[in-house]
Amino acid sequence: MLNKYKILLIIPLLAILGAMAYCGNQVYTLSNQQKQIKEDFATINSITFGLLSVNQWKDKVAVIINKQIQGFNFTPSQQKDLQKEVEQIMNGLITKAIAIINRPQKTLMGKLKKAAVKIFVNEKELRAQVPGFAREIIKQVNKPSSKRRLKRVVNSKVKQLEQTTFDSSITAERMVRVKMFSKYHVKDDDSFDKKTTAMLTDINHQTGIYAYAMLGGALLFLIIWLFLKKQVALHKTLFVLSIFAAILLLVVGVSTTMINVEARIQTLDFSLLGQNMVFKNQILFFQSKGILEVVMVLLKTTHLESIAVGALIFCFSILFPVSKLSSALIYSLGHKKWMRGSFIHYFAFDSGKWSMADVMVVAIMMTYLAFNGILDSQLAELNIKNSYLSTVTTNNTSLQPGFVIFLSFVIYSLIMSEILKRVVLPAEEKGKHDEEQSEI
């Protein structure tokens, strides 16, 4: 009869564990996908490849110049002013020419040329024709054909400037863009931004569903404990499977992303040659890390201090919790000799003060708040709005599902420790007492 109850208990609990494992795997997979997409987005929209890129400035300036040439027209007042300028220049040329002609000539040929000019050239008539010439010049400048020639000249000058201006990042930037556009099957920056934003929105939604489903499984274990707290015969089976649920929470919590730190200039808009020049989504800084990633990064460095910190984080936030869970599992399943062993007993009951998982949660939360405050204050200084320049900055620092799952593990493991002390251990002590009484 007892075995029947155990089977009826084990089957649904195994189903819950299977569902938690599946949800945890989905959270891990989706978290990695999200991290990769965000890193690609940060690469394409990096300030290095945007606001600080010669290539980007060249393209945007070329568009503005083309617009300026295409829309080039003189207003009536500008035409009057220009006509005066042209008339002054032409009258100045006539004055200079007449002065040259009136110079004393020493040679016979010079004297003949001077006499011929005076006979055939009338200065007053020539000056009278100046306004007509000036109007014709303005008319020719306003012709579409003249604008096209001007556009070709300007474009050639821009290309010459491009050839003489060297930026080592241009080739790298183009290669990165070609690679990313091919990866996401897009053609330009706008379509890349739209597609990646849509993908991230979908991934965030799915990750949230799987993460909370996983936490729901852990909550079901605790609810079952409430219903079966008086069923001493089933405690060992329930406790063992509960420990496996805690292990799942720990593995997913330390392996997935916990915090994203991102600072960006959402828009930078200013006027150049009467046209708006706009830069969007300029990523100033982006990092995405989980506990295990931080440990690996620290251990791979050549600095002794970093290696020491990485080793401490690994020991107190990963190794100790694993040892504690393993000891609790062995204690609940093991031989009496094992259960009474000092090592297993210590990790099962007394290692809580050395396990820093709860401290790590607090540290991550404080890091999040600190980054948020620092970035908010620094980015606020970059928010500018006047008639010449407008900038809008955003702080997209956020806690990720890995933090929520790791926090849930900390709370869940504390509850399981209390269950071990108050339910499993008293039942074991009662069993030993009954055994001693029977021997007497």
pLDDT digits (tens, 9 = 90+) for 370-384: 555 655 665 566 666
The three state secondary structure string of 294-360 is: HHHHHHHCCCHHHHHHHHHHHHHHHHHHHHHHHHHHHHHHCCHHHHCCHHHHHHHHHHHHCCCHHHH
Return the domain boundaries, the chain.
2-53+169-439, 74-141
pLDDT of residue 90: 80
Give the pTM: 0.68
pLDDT of residue 163: 60
User: What is the β-pairing status of strands 275-289 and 259-272?
Assistant: antiparallel
| Per-residue pLDDT of the chain in tens (440 residues, 90 and over written 9) | 557 777 888 889 999 999 999 999 999 999 999 999 998 988 888 877 777 666 666 667 666 666 666 655 666 776 777 778 878 888 887 787 777 767 776 776 766 666 666 666 667 777 787 888 777 777 776 677 776 776 677 667 666 665 655 555 566 777 888 889 999 999 888 899 899 999 999 999 999 999 999 999 999 999 998 888 778 778 888 888 998 999 999 999 888 988 887 777 777 776 665 667 777 777 877 878 888 887 887 788 777 877 887 787 787 777 778 877 877 777 777 655 555 556 666 566 555 555 555 556 556 655 655 555 655 665 566 666 766 666 666 667 777 888 889 888 888 988 888 887 776 565 555 444 344 434 43
Joined tokens for residue 231: 């069923």
Q: Which residue's entry shows tokens 């100033």?
A: 284
**CA-based nearest residue to 328, from 253, 408, 414:** 414
Cα separation, 350 vs 352, whole angstroms: 6
Residue at 95: amino acid letter: T
**Following DSSP, what letter does each residue of 29-87 receive, concatenated?**
HHHHHHHHHHHHHHHHTBGGGTTT-HHHHHHHHHHHHHHHHHT----HHHHHHHHHHHH
Cα separation, 119 vs 420, whole angstroms: 125
pLDDT of residue 22: 96
Joined tokens for residue 23: 């949800």
What is the CA 430 to chain-centroid distance, rounded? 57
pLDDT of residue 37: 92
pLDDT of residue 348: 60
Cα separation, 184 vs 314, whole angstroms: 36
pLDDT of residue 371: 54
Q: Which residue's entry shows tokens 């540290």?
A: 363
